[in-house]
Structure 1
């Protein structure tokens, strides 16, 4: 009788665990279905990734490569300038919390869209200013944001940002993900990335756009 009791109890536990797992999966799928994606390049992805990760409504930011002809490119290959890829980040965000227009405002704050194939001392096509749009609506909003920013002379000069359809995104190597967070004292990070992040945090912190643990 005890064996029968424990057998029934075990089956009930397995059933409950299965139901909880299914509920968790459904909840996760619902969350993923709410997310939209933006893929942009504005120079070295270490800084861009760090800043976008701090925004309310941003679920994840992955550093990677896009816009080229080489499959599964390595960092070294992209830096050599022969793959056609740009250093980019792919942003997963909740449009109910942060809009694509807001993402474009951050994008145009973080880099100089008038510099052709470079950002500061980072020179090469891999550092180009580029937006890979996923829909005609994203294309329209990108072009409007660029036009508005250029008209008010947010940056001095003619904007050279490429606006092209998204095709493929290749995640960068694991050590590039969250690079600044793990290596804040690396020379490039302390000299270039760190000051940009502090400027970003001050401006968007005052606007109330940052996650509570980033203020």
Structure 2
């Protein structure tokens, strides 16, 4: 498949280390990059984003093969591994940088996301706070944030917060989960 036939998804749901680790394990997802989107500063850094002054969310940008996994399936996983009912918070991570947000790259992605959220709100009683916005400039996070879980599996946050989310993927979505490092 040619590069132009791949799709891009940009999602924020708490710390980007969590989403990155989960989506690195998803069949059909070919790349995952941690970064920042949705703010008003042209050169965000981890430090400025964490201060909550830039307006950016911590996000991951995925490149995926829609012949192997659909955008809706990406959203099913996304909404299963973070809490879309807490405003500007995921567990102990608090601040607007940790908000639940979807940046849509196409009109079809927007329709799919809005439909999915309506269905989820109906199921949960209307408590979903996930923002749906049009694509925004994406800024890649610093190199030490990339593949963070893979490079730091024994770090406390990784063991206590990230690993359970990866485990949830394998438990809830075994047909989408890679079994070996070489799986795509």
In which range does the TM-score fall when normalised by the shorter chain? over 0.9
Q: Point out 4+ residue stretches in structure 1 off by more than 3 angstroms.
A: none
Is the partner of 2:180 in helix, strand or coil? helix
Query: 2:67 aligned with 1:100, yes or no?
Result: no
Compute the displacement of 1:157 (Å): 5.8
Deviation sequence 1:66-109 (CA, Å, 0-9, x none): 00011121101100000000000000001111100000101110
The match for 2:153 is: 184
The match for 2:84 is: 113
Alignment of 1:65-84 (within 5 A): 65-84=36-55
Q: Structure 2: how far apart are the matches of 1:159 and 1:212?
A: 32
The match for 1:209 is: 176
The match for 1:124 is: 95
Q: Structure 2: how far apart are the matches of 1:142 and 1:41?
A: 13
Query: 2:121 aligned with 1:150, yes or no?
Result: yes
The match for 1:133 is: 104
Please give the TM-score of this superposition, normalised by the length of structure 1: 0.81
The match for 2:133 is: 164
The match for 1:200 is: 169
Is the partner of 2:2 in helix, strand or coil? helix
Q: Structure 2: how far apart are the matches of 1:32 and 1:139?
A: 22
Higher helix share: 1
Q: Structure 1: how far apart are the matches of 2:163 and 2:25?
A: 14
User: Where do 5+ consecutive residues of structure 1 fail to align?
Assistant: 1-29
Q: Structure 2: how far apart are the matches of 1:193 and 1:57?
A: 21
Please give the TM-score of this superposition, normalised by the length of structure 2: 0.94
The match for 1:55 is: 26
Q: Structure 1: how far apart are the matches of 2:66 and 2:132?
A: 21
User: Where do 5+ consecutive residues of structure 2 fail to align?
Assistant: none
